[in-house]
Each structure stands twice: as C-alpha cells, then as structure tokens.
Amino acid sequence: MVGKRSMILAVVFLTVAYAVTPYIALWRLASALREGDARTLEAMIDWDSVRDGLKEDVADGIVGLPDDATATTQVAANTLPPFGASFISGIAGSVIDRDVTPQHLVALIRQLAPAEPAAIGPVKLMAALGGVDHAFFDSPTSFTLRMHCAGQDPQDEPLRVRMEMHDGACRVMRAWIPQDLIERANART
C-alpha cells in the first residue's frame, strides 16, 4: 500500500513538474528581458532555428513585404523573377542574421516597454508589452504562446512563439512576427 501511494505521488509530482516547465521558462524569459540579460536569452532561445524560421517567412512572403500595394501585388501574383526573389531573400537573410540577436531583442524590448523594464516585474513587463492570448501545449513536447503586443490592434495577427521541451528544459525554437510589429520595430531603429 505504501509503495503504491509513493508511486502515485511520484507520478503526480512528475506530471505537475512537466506541466509547469514551459510556464517557468516563460517566467525566466520575461525576467531576462526585464533585466536585459542577453546571456540567459542566448541560452533559452535557439537563435539559429528562430532566424531560419524568419528567413522562411520572408521567402514565403509572409513577413517583410513592402508597403507599396503594387510591389505586394507583384509578389502575391508571383511575378517577381526567381533571381529577384532569391536576391531579396538573400538580403533579408543577411539582415535577419545580423539583427536577430539577444542584444537586439533586449534593446527592442527596452524601446517597446513604457517604463524602465528593470523597474517592473516579469508579469507586469508582459502586461506592459501586451496581453497573452494563448499559452498551452500543442503536443507533448511543444508549447505555443500567442500574444498581442502593446499598441497592437486586437484584430491584427498576434506574435506567436513556439517552445520545445528537450531534456527537461524549454527553449524557444520558432517565432512568427506579424508585419505590423516588424514595421513598428523598424520605425524605432
């Protein structure tokens, strides 16, 4: 009887620990952003994977399209010659490689947060940046966060971040950044 109870308690403990791991990782990410801790961000985010995903989005025309309606129509109609498309993707890839770094993320968060980020806690920082719409498991090892950032229209596409669990730790593996947030970030730099 004691062995069975111990086994049940161990299973319950492991299940709870497993379920809270991504939320603890989100807390650590928010704390690292608040404190401007690029070293922790370096460890918690697979930067190569995130950059590759952003490059795919640019190549697919999901983000980074010009504001000019004619240019957007040309890209949407697939009239851009293959060489031109690969050239633009190559330029965008170079910019992504250069600018999608822990240091740039810390600087961007400092620009977007209405108060000095270090002066507020992680929960208030997340609230200052916007509201979390969704933060749940998609599969046993994948966790997705969707949030609208401060100043973003609720009708706009949310920022999405996918975390994956490996060896008991969660790391950000992919981010989908909506066009309006890219434009706001570019306007501030």
Q: Look at residue 73 in the predicted model and tell me its pLDDT.
A: 44
Residue among 101, 97, 120, 117 at smallest CA distance from 109: 117
Q: Look at residue 186 in the predicted model and tell me its pLDDT.
A: 67
- State pLDDT tens for residues 127-148: 555 677 888 999 999 999 998 8
pTM metric for this prediction: 0.71
Q: Look at residue 85 in the predicted model and tell me its pLDDT.
A: 53
**120 is written with which tokens?**
């507020």
**126 is written with which tokens?**
């997340």
Q: Look at residue 172 in the predicted model and tell me its pLDDT.
A: 95
Provide the number of structural domains found in the chain.
1
Residue among 24, 27, 185 at smallest CA distance from 108: 185
CA distance 72 to 13: 52
Any idea what DSSP says for residue 78? Answer: T
Q: Look at residue 179 in the predicted model and tell me its pLDDT.
A: 81
108 lies in which domain range? 2-188
**179 is written with which tokens?**
């066009």
Which portions of the chain are predicted below pLDDT 50? 65-79
Question: DSSP readout, 97-122?
Answer: HHH-SHHHHHHHHHHHSSS-GGGS-H
